[in-house]
Structure 1
Amino acid sequence: MQVKATDFLGTIDKTILRRFSYVTCGRRLDGFALPCAAVALTAVVSAWAPLPWNLMLAVFIAGAAVVAQHMQQSKRQVFVAQQFAKGLLGIAEDCLKLLDLDGRIVCISDVGTRLFEADSPDDMVGVDWLGLWDGPEARHAFARAIAAESTSFSGACRTVTGSMKWWTSTFAPVFGERGKVVAILCKSRDITAEVDLIAELRGNAQVQKDMEDHVDAVFWTTSHDFRTLLHVSSAFERMWEMPMSALEADETSWAERVHPDDLPQLRGRMRDAVQTGAPAQSYFRLCLPEARIRWVRADIYPVIEAGAVARVVSVCVDATEEQERLRELHRLANIDSLTGLHNRNSMTEALLAHCNAGEPFAYLFIDIDRFKSINDTAGHSAGDTVLTAIAERIRSVLPESAIVARPGGDEFTILLPGVPDPDRIAQACRRLAVACHRPISIDCKTVTMTCSIGVAMYPENGSTPEALFTSADLAMYAAKRAGRNTFRVFGEEEKVDLARAHLETELHDAIRDDQFVLHYQPHYRVDSGALTGAEALLRWNHPQLGLLAPGAFVPVLEESGLIVEAGHWIIREAVQAASVLATSTPEVKSVSINVSPKQFRDPQLVSVLKQTIKRCCIDARRITLEITESALIENIDGAQEVLTQIQRMGVRIAIDDFGTGYSSLSYLARFRPDVLKLDKSFVDNIMSDETVRTVVEGVIDLAHKLGMAVVAEGVETQDQMDILRDARCDEVQGFLLSRPVSLDRLLERGSQRRLEAMAP
Structure 2
Amino acid sequence: MRNPFLLKQYINTLESAAICARLSPDGNIRWMSESLHKLLGVHYLKRTTAFSEFLHIDSRNDVTGEINQAAANGEVWNGRLCLTSTNRRRWCRCIAIPLYETDGFLAEQILLFQDISREIHLDELLQEARFDQVTALPTRIDLLNDLKQVGAQCLAVLDIRKFRSYADFYGLEFGDALLREFSDWASAFLRTKHINIYRLHGDKFALIPDFRMIPSLFERQLLSFYNALSLHKLKVENSDVTLDVAIGMGVGRKKQLQLAESALSKAKAIYSGYKVEVVYERELLDENKVNWLPKIQSALVDHRFVNYYQPIQSTNKNQPSYYEALVRLRDNNKDLVPGLFLDEAKTTRYYCEITRSVIEQAVLTSEQYQVAISVNVSIEDILNEETVSFIHYVLSEHKKAQLIFEITETESTEDFTKVQAFARDVRRLGGQIAIDDFGVGYSNFSRLISLRPDYLKIDGSIVQNVLHDPTSASILNGLISICKELHIPIVAEFVENKEVNSYLCDQQIEYLQGYYIGKPSPEVNRLLN
TM-score, normalised relative to structure 2:
0.44
The higher relative CO (CA closer than 8 Å, separation ≥ 6) is in: 2
Bigger share in helix:
1
Q: Which has the larger radius of gyration?
A: 1
TM-score, normalised relative to structure 1:
0.31
